[in-house]
Amino acid sequence: MSARISASVFTSHVPAIGAAMDLGKTEEPYWEPLFAGYEPSRSWMSENTPDAIVLVYNDHATAFSLDFIPTFAIGTAAQFPVADEGWGPRQVPDVVGHPKLAAHIAQSVIQQDFDLTIVNKLPVDHGLTVPLSLMFGQPDEWPCPVIPVAVNVVQYPVPSGRRCLELGKAIRRAVEAFDDDLDIQIWGTGGMSHQLQGPRAGLINSDFDNAFLDRLVSDPEALSATPHIDYVREAGSEGIELVMWFVARGAMNDLAGGASPTQIHRFYHVPASNTAVGHLILENAG
């Protein structure tokens, strides 16, 4: 036996969602529809808790200032503290890593020509903790280890969708070459349409988002060729975060000649604060 990727999860990581949970606002009318959309996900999660999650997210000027801006980075530490982003740290558990698998993935992926930056000191922000909260609720500790994979989407140019898809394929090959019998999920986070800056702030494009959700499932190779300017113009300057979803999608079986994944759940909601929230769960066969 070896390790394998059983499923991919895609979700926005809006900080206000974390704040709503932390402050007990989830049953307010503003938030109730959003959290209702994640109820099926939490049920599925409780029956499909993996041995580890490779969680693709972006750092929002938290661990990476302008001192260092890695395009792709992997967290290989045993533990990742929850960062203070300026409002005080979220009151959620610290994130436990999987140093052995992370080191294996780093070595394998670098040898497949992806120059990952290896990071051992990585305070994690809402980009990583909000997806965990959405999928797991509010446990005293997260139910499984997490390997953070950080993608630069803050300083332009960010990596292309195509490059992200190929990184996902490389991560899949790395996981399958790991000797321990482990059930691994890969999560892609961020998006969907949103713009947080300038007089155009508040842009939402539900047509773009829903077409993206359709094609991410059915035709990810073609979708990954979408140029950056299309995200900026159509989905807002911060909608560019969607490139990170391709890392998770690229790790699924069908992109390595296997069967198409099964769509377990799909959800879309506007708004969470400034942002359109999108969510998918895809399961590999067998």
Partner 1 sequence: MGLKKPYLDVPGTTVFDADQARAGYWLNQFCMSLMESSNRTRFLADERAYLDEWDMTNEQKQGVVDRDLNVLIGLGGNIYFLAKIGATDGRSFQQIAGSMTGMSEDAYRAMMVAGGRSPDGNRYLHEWSGSL
Residue with Cβ nearer partner 1 (88 or 257):
88
Question: Interacting stretch for partner 1, rule CB under 8 A, among 40-48, 97-105, 204-212, 256-264?
Answer: 204-212
273 binds partner 1 (CB under 8 A): yes
Q: Is 104 known to be catalytic?
A: no
Of residues 129, 128, 132, 180, the one with CA closest to residue 150: 128
Residue 205 interacts with partner 1 (CB under 8 A)?
yes
On whether the CB atoms of residues 123 and 63 are closer than 8 A, the answer is yes
271 in contact with partner 1 (CB under 8 A)? yes
d(CA 230, CA 212): 12
Task: Answer for the pair 100, 182: CB distance below 8 angstroms, yes or no.
Answer: no
Contact with partner 1 (CB under 8 A) among 27, 47, 199, 286: 199
Q: Give me 86's structure tokens.
A: 């300026």
**Active site (annotated) includes residue 13:** no
Exposure pattern of 66-100 as b/e (b: 16+ CB <10 Å)? eeeebbbbbbbbeebebbebeeeebebeebbbbbe
Answer whether 131's CB lies under 8 Å from 42's CB: no
Shortest distance in whole angstroms from residue 112 CB to partner 1: 27
Q: Determine if 204 is a binding residue for partner 1 (CB under 8 A).
A: yes
The closest alpha carbon to 76, from 145, 11, 129, belongs to: 145
The one among 24, 27, 47, 86 contacting partner 1 by CB under 8 A: 86
Size of site (CB under 8 A) for partner 1: 46
Contact between 119 and partner 1 by CB under 8 A: the answer reads no
Q: Judged by CB under 8 A, does residue 195 bind partner 1? A: yes
Q: How far is CA 228 from CA 1, 61, 134, in A?
A: 40, 21, 28
CB of 115 to partner 1, least distance (A): 19
**Subset of residues 140 to 159 that bind partner 1, contact rule: CB under 8 A:** 154-157
Q: Which of 23, 36, 177, 201 binds partner 1 (CB under 8 A)?
A: 201
Figure out which of the listed residues 53, 116, 203, 213 binds partner 1, where binding follows CB under 8 A: 203
Q: Are 110 and 171 contacting, i.e. CB atoms less than 8 angstroms apart?
A: no
In angstroms, the Cα distances linking 276 to 211, 238, 241 are 13, 11, 12
83 interacts with partner 1 by CB under 8 A: yes
Positions in the binding site for partner 1 (CB under 8 A):
15-16, 19, 30, 60-62, 65-67, 83-88, 154-157, 193, 195-206, 208, 228-229, 232-234, 237-238, 270-271, 273-274, 276
